[in-house]
A and B are shown apart, each in its own frame.
Chain A
């Protein structure tokens, strides 16, 4: 292989290139650290001295932790729902018949729908006076909008969860279909030949390979759900406020000195994202070899 011909310095070049791609995030993080300490940005202290009061305020404020907890909860539940839906699609429409291929296409068609559009249509459908409520009215189940259980602007954030789940489901379905396709039918057929039932085949053959192949994407989807601002601002309640909404609120705080809070919150969000990135890479590294081996094994 060509590796033996390259010098150690040149072989580090791709690492530097990768670092270059990540550089804007690191620069942003650096600036945010300075801004949160009052050394830069709108919250700059006049005397140029370090001011850690914004950190103290944000970390000791109840609404910060409510916000983080709520955002995490919404992201986890919506990711779980999306994963479930994606797995169902991948498993139910896994053959190569025309209907199944068409179904797979339909499931992944809404991929280009941005969070914003998904949230706007969620308002139209899930609102107390939305499409679901109007269908209920036509069926006589609902007399006024107030009879419809609130799904938007609600404290549990059901509407937001459903919207994020719907958006992420198409992406995860795409990945699940790809993973399912690359697993192939060899193991499945072998197990059937040995007399295993559908559920057993699923539980012991397909599912273990599927979830390991899906895990990196599930973690990625979780991070996207956590950081989404447009959907949150359209559908979330006042209390608890989602983390991106709280961050933007602090950016717009009338007292300039308090705008450093926004940078603190952004750094907290970035920290969670970095953790997820680490997990994502670990899971990819851990199981990509297994995945590759199975594909090689299936095709040989």
Chain B
């Protein structure tokens, strides 16, 4: 039995290595196919994609986004390009693991043709050569991308280099209830004082949003975002880490549950906030609060607020994996997502209110006037204050290290460097 097991298990690895040569042919052909497509005129790409299916792995944790993608986007793809879209769950680490395993198995093409990625996921995928490209520049709508915005042209300080195409942008905001907290704190110093005056009413979550909050704290108390720009540096991180944990140590006894435990993710935080266990929630999307009010998750008196110390704004992108079964279809979907029509639809407050990555002064009519006249939800934060307090992301290593160190700090593990 052990012999059988070992043989099968080694067979998995061996077949990966031996047939890697053969399958490199099909692996190369996926990237090769993409390279060929990028050289073709756009109409040929559309023709190639006609009648095909594209599986897009994206985050499905927000029904507003799901409704937009499964509804409007899929409908447009069907009627305009005759492409069938299947948006399935997948993000972050599981994407990377899956692609690594697929490459190891060496079985030619995978299942997903398009991925929703940004930040550290992009860094890991690029480091492992799991993305095909470059291709983002061949999309017709790429000409309208706002190349002046550092948030879009740099993904966590990395150059997309055509391996991913932007499709939306969001900004972090705190959420509070105007009835319970009519005068929310506006800086981290005020927040610390507020926490100490209201014990047990504030916390952050364990997930991406919580670490983003800590990153903002690092910027604010570590000397500003410029102190951390320009790549990862151990000593700069050490200074930032000291600032973060100093602040946390000060407020920890007054955090929710005395800072011994934290909600697993943002949805749990929203539930706690709505049910009066917390006075603050947070979200990576400044418009999330309004979407959630519409869905009945948050009370109607909830509003978003920004910190004057600056909140993090970032863009999200789509990428094509190295073993995409349908690169032509993926290009078409990416183009639709980038098109002024989709960007406008997405920006509408009753749909998603996801920021556009296009330069709205350069897009063709009628979209230019439509963008200009798009009315915001009266409860939303003004574009001016959003722009004023926006801070870009820095190198992904800061995020990873902060997350690991925070977890170690909560668990009481001595931070080990392996």
Contact = CB atoms under 8 A, between A and B. Distances in A.
Direct contact, A vs B (beta carbon within 8 Å) = yes
B171 interface: no
Interface in A206-252: 233-234, 237-241, 249, 251-252
Main secondary structure, interface of B, reads helix
A12 interface: no
A63 interface: yes
B93 A30 contact: no
A256 B200 contact: no
Contact of B261 (A40, A238, A252): A238
A256 B206 contact: no
Interface in A254-287: 254-256, 258-259
Contacts of A197: none
Interface string B181-206: 00000000000000000001000001
A153 B410 CA distance: 14
Given A62-B413, A238-B411, A256 B96 contact: yes
A139 B9 CA distance: 61
Pick the most buried of B9, B101, B264: most chain A CB atoms within 10 A of its CB.
Answer: B9
Contacts of A259: 97
A48 B258 CA distance: 46
Contact of B412 (A23, A239, A251): A239
Contacts of A163: none
Nearest to A62: B413
A42 interface: yes
B416 to A, nearest CB: 8
A19 interface: yes
Contact of B257 (A63, A127, A153, A249): A153
Contacts of B96: 42, 256
A129 B272 contact: yes
B6 interface: yes
B276 A129 contact: yes
Contacts of B9: 27, 30-31, 33-34
B309 interface: no
A57 B418 contact: yes
Interface string B393-414: 0001001100110010011110
A128 interface: yes
A99 B226 CA distance: 74
Interface in A124-160: 127-129, 144-146, 150, 153-155
B8 interface: yes
Interface in B373-408: 396, 399-400, 403-404, 407
A80 interface: no
A287 to B, nearest CB: 27
A44 B96 CA distance: 13
Pick the most buried of B13, B104, B271: most chain A CB atoms within 10 A of its CB.
Answer: B13
Nearest to B406: A238
Pick the most buried of A39, A238, A255: most chain B CB atoms within 10 A of its CB.
Answer: A238
Nearest to B9: A30
B262 interface: yes
B243 interface: no
A44 B120 CA distance: 19
B124 interface: yes
A253 interface: yes
B73 to A, nearest CB: 28
Given A30-B5, A34-B9, A129-B276, A238 B93 contact: no
Nearest to A53: B418
A155 B6 contact: no
Contacts of B263: 153
A300 interface: no
B275 A127 contact: yes
B261 A155 contact: yes
A148 to B, nearest CB: 9
B309 to A, nearest CB: 26
Nearest to B262: A238
B400 A42 contact: no
Given A27-B5, A252-B94, A256-B124, A239 B261 contact: yes
A252 B100 contact: no
A61 B97 contact: no
A154 B271 CA distance: 17
Contacts of A42: 96-97, 100-101
Contacts of B396: 254
A39 B104 CA distance: 11
B92 interface: yes
A155 B411 CA distance: 11
Contacts of B4: 23, 26
24 contacts: A23-B5, A27-B5, A30-B5, A30-B9, A31-B9, A40-B12, A40-B13, A41-B100, A42-B100, A57-B416, A127-B277, A128-B277, A129-B275, A150-B257, A153-B261, A154-B261, A233-B264, A234-B264, A238-B411, A239-B261, A239-B410, A253-B93, A254-B399, A258-B418
In the A-B complex, the 5 residue pairs with the closest CB atoms? A30-B9, A252-B93, A129-B275, A254-B400, A237-B261
Interface of B: 1, 4-6, 8-10, 12-13, 92-94, 96-97, 100-101, 104, 120, 124, 128, 200, 206, 257, 260-264, 271-272, 275-277, 396, 399-400, 403-404, 407, 410-413, 416, 418
